[in-house]
Structure 1
Amino acid sequence: MKKGKEILALVMVSVFLGLILSIQLKTVKRSIGEGVLPTQRAQQLAAELKKAQAERDAQANRIAELESKIHKYEKNEVDKNEYAESLYKDTMKYRMLAGYTDLEGPGIILEINDPPGDVQYGDEYTIVDELDMILQIISILNAADAEAISINDQRYTSFTEIVRAGNHIEINGVSNNSPIVIKAIGNPDTLESALAIKRGIIWELRKHDYLVHLTQDKNVVIPKYRKVKDFKYSTPMEENNQ
């Protein structure tokens, strides 16, 4: 009798283990695909990533090539007549305003690092938590007549989004973390004074133990805005001459 109970218990344990193995196999198949081993799946993903990176690089090179051709065409037309030259200058001006061209010139560089570990108590905090301060810096620079602004080499334009995403911030769709480096082209003295004014934004950052380094630079380089903005709902209004 006792032996029969032991056999029954063994059978039940075997059935239970069989069910568990069956469930695990189904789960693995759903996650990595039918008949595909984890190592094979990893190799497939690596190959797909490499292919995507190659396509991205090819597109970037193609864009650079087309922009170079456009620039040559524009310059050739400029040499022909004064009207084309005036049109070219206006086009460049609006491209600069929209952020679609690289710029360089005198300005300032502001670098903000997180507080040292030995002054942080309780929960650690970081500059990426201070979106309001980052936006305040941008507003101050705009008020000080900055001609171009970048955040971690991402061009700031009217279309730029700055949003918190996990433990980093997204700027123009690119993930950024500490340190935050803000560059601006304009009158260096005016820009520096606007940021370093008594009890201003620099004072506020240092009050919260952030490590702030503000310098003037004779040749600040700010890259162009990389995303393409399509207007799906907006159309230009015709001017009414009456």
Structure 2
Amino acid sequence: MKNKINLMVLMIVLLGILMGIQFKAGYNERFESSFIDREITAQVNQIRKENTQLSDTIRAAKHRVSLYENSAQEESPEIKKLKKEVEDMKLTLGYVEALGSGLIIKIDTNRDENLGFIMEEKKWFLLLINDIRYYGGEAISINGQRISPYTEIVLAGNHININSVPIVQPYEISVLGDIDRLGRYINDDNILIESMRKAYDMDISIKKSGNMSIPKLEDEKKLKYVRR
């Protein structure tokens, strides 16, 4: 009897041990599975978050590009003003061809003499160009040579050099600008033109032109050599 009781107790203990082992194994398995799931879920959520951030960044970049493209198409008044100033400066410096209306002034002499010496001695080219600019001349050329603020007009031997290119009489001065304004001051009654005629019997004609072309400078002056 005692042996049976001992055997039953032993069986109950063994059964308890087995149940404990099974419960522990199941708990560990469920805990490990739950931990892995949480890790995967965390990684998926992190990827989703990064994708959302990346999408936001792409949308913001596209928006900036769109704004830039629109601003390029619809320039601000400041940009337009700056471009206009640049174009005006190029025109003044002679870096672009000038097209429009203006005057054509031809200078010759009724005498058998070289005008180059007289034009140089009296500085009449310089004085006439200053007059033309003062009264609205936007672009000027003499015998096809563009006049800029840095153009040199000098006597070289028995002829005049402009932009290091020799020119000879008769001289043809093309002036682009407002015809009406230029015509009011650059005419037969201009003091300088009248003096040239009377003192040296020069033959000077002035006519208006509605369609003129003044070439650009062949060699642009380097501004680093220009003094202010």
Asked whether the 8 Å contact 1:103–1:224 carries over to 2, the reply is yes
Q: Deviations over 1:83-142 (max 9, x none)?
A: 59736544323212221000111110000112244xxxxxx3425531311111101101
Aligned to 1:184: 175
Aligned to 2:158: 167
Q: Does residue 198 of structure 2 align to residue 214 of structure 1?
A: no
Q: What is the CA-CA distance between 1:196 and the residue it aligns to?
A: 2.3
Q: Does residue 151 of structure 2 align to residue 156 of structure 1?
A: no
For 1:146, which of 137, 141, 144 is the aligned residue?
A: 137
Structure 2 residue runs without a partner (length 5+): 1-70
Classify 1:128/1:178 alpha carbon distance in 2 versus 1 (closer, same or farther; 3 Å): farther
Aligned to 1:103: 98
Structure 1 residue runs without a partner (length 5+): 1-77, 118-123, 237-242
Greater C-alpha radius of gyration: 2
Counterpart secondary structure, 2:221? coil
Q: Does residue 123 of structure 2 align to residue 130 of structure 1?
A: no
Count matched residues.
155
How many Å separate the matches in 2 of 1:111 and 1:234?
A: 31
Aligned to 1:28: none
Aligned to 1:19: none
For 1:114, which of 100, 109, 116 is the aligned residue?
A: 109
Classify 1:128/1:184 alpha carbon distance in 2 versus 1 (closer, same or farther; 3 Å): farther
Asked whether the 8 Å contact 2:146–2:217 carries over to 1, the reply is yes
Classify 1:160/1:234 alpha carbon distance in 2 versus 1 (closer, same or farther; 3 Å): closer
Asked whether the 8 Å contact 1:128–1:177 carries over to 2, the reply is no
Q: Deviations over 1:48-107 (max 9, x none)?
A: xxxxxxxxxxxxxxxxxxxxxxxxxxxxxx974525973654432321222100011111
TM-score in terms of structure 1 length: 0.56
TM-score in terms of structure 2 length: 0.59
How many Å separate the matches in 1 of 2:162 and 2:147?
A: 9
How many Å separate the matches in 2 of 1:96 and 1:202?
A: 26
Aligned to 2:222: 230
How many Å separate the matches in 2 of 1:168 and 1:217?
A: 28
Q: Give 1:106's aligned amino acid.
A: S
How many Å separate the matches in 2 of 1:161 and 1:226?
A: 14
How many Å separate the matches in 1 of 2:157 and 2:102?
A: 32
Counterpart secondary structure, 2:133? helix
Counterpart secondary structure, 2:208? strand
Residue identity over aligned pairs, in percent, reads: 31
For 2:75, which of 57, 70, 82 is the aligned residue?
A: 82
